[in-house]
Amino acid sequence: MAVILPAERLERALGYSFVDKVRLKQALTHRSFSSTHNERIEFVGDGILNALIARALFLNFPQHSEGELSRMRAALVCQEGLALIANQLNLGEYLWLGEGELKSGGHKRASILADALEAVLGTIWLDGGFVAVEKVVEKLFAERLASIDPSAGTKDAKTALQEWLQARKFTLPAYTVLRQEGDSPDQIFEVSCAVADGAIITRAEGSSRRAAEQLAAAEALLLLAERYPGKGKKK
């Protein structure tokens, strides 16, 4: 049986095979590891991602104003949302980090994961062109775009989750700190979020308790939308 290398696993998850593997390594390299890092590529990825999400929202929500579309886009491409997608890709496993970041759990930090995801998207654009990155963004954001609630565009994940549950007569989410490591500002919190009477339990890590709770809430929202499509929607 052929051995699947880490880069190949990531490519499979993305649905894209890189022509230039060196570019991919740079996209996954944090500045703590090398002077050849991903910050410039992240800048490119941020612009490409915002453009693609803006177009998707423009086409999917023709009745909504520029301000409403802007708020929806901000909710989709916020650090917490990008870190959630990065976690679904197991992106942290592929990052090149300096020793200090490794010891402090940098491969699980939302800011580092979000930046790396943007860098990967920017690299796909540089490596394969606009159509290639468009397909990857459509794949990665399909569920979130399908389940987006325009009225919740300005709400953070915890608020949106609470309102979703209240509107459907579910009990409120229960957050539990599972683990706390390190000293400020390099602390790592692991938090669980239990919803639907414990039918769904998500876990997330962040550099603060609030950040971890936001990530866990965001994942819970996605799982609820999958498990209870259309449940309790107002006419």
Domain-located, residue 153: no
**pLDDT recorded at residue 98:** 92
Residues 168 and 121 in one domain: no
pLDDT of the chain along its 235 residues, tens only? Answer: 333 456 889 999 999 999 999 999 999 999 999 999 999 999 999 999 999 999 999 999 998 888 888 888 888 888 878 988 998 899 999 999 999 888 878 888 888 999 999 999 999 999 999 999 999 999 999 988 887 767 655 567 888 888 889 888 889 999 999 988 877 666 788 899 999 888 899 988 887 888 889 888 988 888 887 787 665 444 3
Looking at 90, 114, 148, the residue that finishes a domain is 148
Q: Quick check: pTM over 0.85?
A: no
118 token code pair: 């943007």
**pLDDT recorded at residue 1:** 37
Residues 70 and 176 in one domain: no
**pLDDT recorded at residue 90:** 92
Residue 216's closest CA among 101, 76, 81?
81
**Sheet (strand 188-195) strand order:** 174-181, 188-195, 200-206
CA-to-CA distance for 171 and 166, rounded, in angstroms? Answer: 7
**pLDDT recorded at residue 69:** 87
To the question of whether residue 42 is assigned a binding role by annotation, the answer is yes
Residues 184 and 91 in one domain: no
Looking at 46, 101, 127, 190, which residue is catalytic?
A: 46
Residues 37 and 127 in one domain: yes
Is position 127 annotated as part of the catalytic site?
Answer: no
Looking at 101, 118, 205, 219, which residue is catalytic?
A: 118
Domain-located, residue 234: no
Residue 148's closest CA among 74, 227, 232?
74
Give the SS3 label for residue 191. strand
Contact 71, 155 (CB under 8 A): no
**pLDDT recorded at residue 234:** 42
**pLDDT recorded at residue 121:** 98
**pLDDT recorded at residue 28:** 95
**pLDDT recorded at residue 207:** 79
Is position 118 annotated as part of the catalytic site?
Answer: yes
Residue 157's closest CA among 47, 82, 57?
82
Looking at 148, 178, 209, the residue that finishes a domain is 148
Residues 48 and 26 in one domain: yes
**pLDDT recorded at residue 229:** 67
**pLDDT recorded at residue 154:** 56
Residues 70 and 186 in one domain: no
Q: What is the CATH number of the domain that holds 34?
A: 1.10.1520.10
Expressed as residue numbers, the domain containing 62 is 7-148
Domain-located, residue 81: yes
- Domain tally, the chain: 2
Residues 115 and 179 in one domain: no
